[in-house]
Every structure is written in C-alpha cells, then in structure tokens.
Structure 1
C-alpha cells in the first residue's frame, strides 16, 4: 500500500495475522462471537537506536547508558505481594466509601457543613 506523509511516499505492508477460531463463543445481543487464537506468534521488531532533533532515544524495552543499549531487568512480583497489594487497595476503597457515607449522613443530620 502506497502512503504519503508530508510529501514523502513510502510503502506500507501491514503484517498478515493468521488466526484459528476456538470452540469458545456464543451470541451477544443477537451477534455471534468467537475467540480467535494466533497460528504463529507475531515477529518482534528489532530494537533500533534513533535520533530526533539531536536527542538519541531507543525503542521500548531498552535503556540507554551513555549511548549503549542494555536490557531492562524484569521485575518479578511474588503472588503474596500481589495479594497483599490487592487486599490493601480493597481496604482503602472500603474505608473511603465508609467515610464518604458517614460524612453524607452527618451533613443530612446537620452535624457537619460543607
């Protein structure tokens, strides 16, 4: 496909993704739907060192160290830490809800003013 951007023409060939329909599916509001799985995983694009207006940058997934690309270290989070984080978030949400309901009822009774 021929495209033009700011007067420069280039060819764009979008990747073709082959899928296989899975058995899971159904009907929603009169429309049939099915899950589709990829036949082949997509090919990742190579990381590139780029420059924009004199500033060097790299594609996602790399960190620049004095112009040298290095991989980001993956941060692993244990399932216990995830569970603890979810529980504390849930408790904060519950506490905020309780406080807002308490404040509303206090203003309705006349104990607090806005």
Structure 2
C-alpha cells in the first residue's frame, strides 16, 4: 500500500495474520459473523530501553527503563479504584444537582 505523509511517499505492508474459521457463528443485525482463531500468535515488538536527551524511557509501558517488569501493587491499585469510584460518584451527584437547580430555576 502506497502512503503519502507531508509530501513523503512510502510503502506500507501491513502484517498478515494467519487465521482459521471458528465453529461459532451467528447473525447480528442481519449480518453474518464468525469467530476466527489465530493459527500462530503475532510476534510482539520487544521492549526497548531508550534515551532521549539523557532521560531513559521504554517503548513498553509495563517495563521500566531498567528492563525489569513492573509488578502492580494490589494495595495501590485497590486504593486508586476506590478513589476513582468515589470521584465518579461525586461528579455524578454534582451533575444531578446542577441539572435539578437549572430545571427549577435557581
């Protein structure tokens, strides 16, 4: 496939993934659909440790620049989920209150 970006022409060949037809099929909104199974999993890009202007970073967000995978901390994740849930509840109630105030003319 020939592509052009800001006057630069280049060829792009998307990776071809071999699949086989699955047994599960059906019809949704008048269109036929069928599951497809991967015959061979795609090769993922390995994580790289990169440096830009002296700052180390990685192209894989779950791997630190040192190359060791980060293990999620259960306490920090659960705390974040709880705080996020509380924040969303507060935003929802504030939105409902503002709509009600607007409807009654305050």
TM-score, normalised via structure 1 length: 0.53
Aligned residues: 95
**Aligned pair in 2 of structure 1 residues 24, 71: CA closer, same or farther (>3 Å)?**
farther
The residue number in structure 1 matching 2:62 is none
Residue 50 of structure 2, aligned match among 33, 39, 63: 63
Which protein has greater RCO, CA pairs closer than 8 Å, 6+ apart? 2
Unaligned runs of 5+ in 2: 59-64
Contact 1:63 1:72 in 2 (8 A): no
Name which one, 1 or 2, has greater alpha-carbon Rg: 1
For 1:25 and 1:79, locate their aligned partners in 2 and report how far apart those are by CA, in whole Å. Answer: 39
Summarize deviations over 1:16-58 as a string: whole Å, max 9, x none.
321122333321101111222211122345x7xxxxxxxxxxx
Which structure 2 residues correspond to residues 74-113 of structure 1 after superposition, within 5 A?
A: 74-79=69-74, 81-110=76-105, 112=106
Unaligned runs of 5+ in 1: 48-59
The residue number in structure 2 matching 1:19 is 19
Relative to its length, the structure with more strand (as a share) is: 1
The residue number in structure 2 matching 1:55 is none
RMSD over aligned Cα, in angstroms? 3.7
TM-score, normalised via structure 2 length: 0.56
